[in-house]
Amino acid sequence: MKKNIAYISNFKEWFDEFSFYVPMKVRFSETDMFGHVNNTSAFVYFEQARLELLAHLGFSTENLSSTESIPVVADLQCDFLKQIFFGETINVYVKVHQIGNSSIDIHYLVLNEKKEPCLTGRGRIVNINVHTGKPTSFTEEQKELLVKSKDNHETK
């Protein structure tokens, strides 16, 4: 990888820490008049993979409306390494990179069918109390689920 990306210190290590991924077919409506997938779709893929990871870890995402706290996006970034085209199936990898008291840093990697990195990204999610709109600590149970997911990376 020739490109310098601030949130990746060692690309190989960073790459190897991913294990959870969601395969997605590129949709025609996600292309733009330049003939490739429009940049805004990267964040649709990231969000979908993030919510499936959270569900996989045991966070209920189906009854989000009846919950006390919701995961809100605090920041997001994406590096576009390679164009993605209609007809491709991509694998959207996602991992919990860092766990704070009321927030987590999530990283993303999108590979095409040739296993070439097309997108990398990261973003912080904050746990927001639905009544106050303020950040609120994860429960101990939630923290354990998050830590367990991180341990899985490291022992891979």
Q: What is the contact surface with a copy of itself in residues (CB under 8 A)? A: 6, 25, 27-29, 31-36, 38-40, 42-44, 47-48, 51, 55, 61-62, 64-65, 70, 72-80, 85-87
Q: Which is nearer to a copy of itself, 17 or 79 (CB)?
A: 79
Nearer to a copy of itself, 54 or 146 (CB): 54
Whether 120 and 81 have beta carbons less than 8 Å apart is answered as yes
Task: Work out the end-to-end distance of the chain between its first and last CA atoms, rounded to an integer number of angstroms.
Answer: 23
Nearer to a copy of itself, 40 or 101 (CB): 40
Shortest CB 87 distance to a copy of itself, Å: 4
> Within a 10 A sphere around the Cβ of 116, how many other Cβ atoms?
10
97, two tokens = 């990179």
Kindly tell me which of 25 and 148 has the beta carbon lying closer to a copy of itself.
Answer: 25
Q: 24: closest CA among 41, 8, 1, 38?
A: 41
Q: How far is the CB of 85 from a copy of itself (least distance, A)?
A: 8
Tell me the two tokens of residue 135: 């950040």
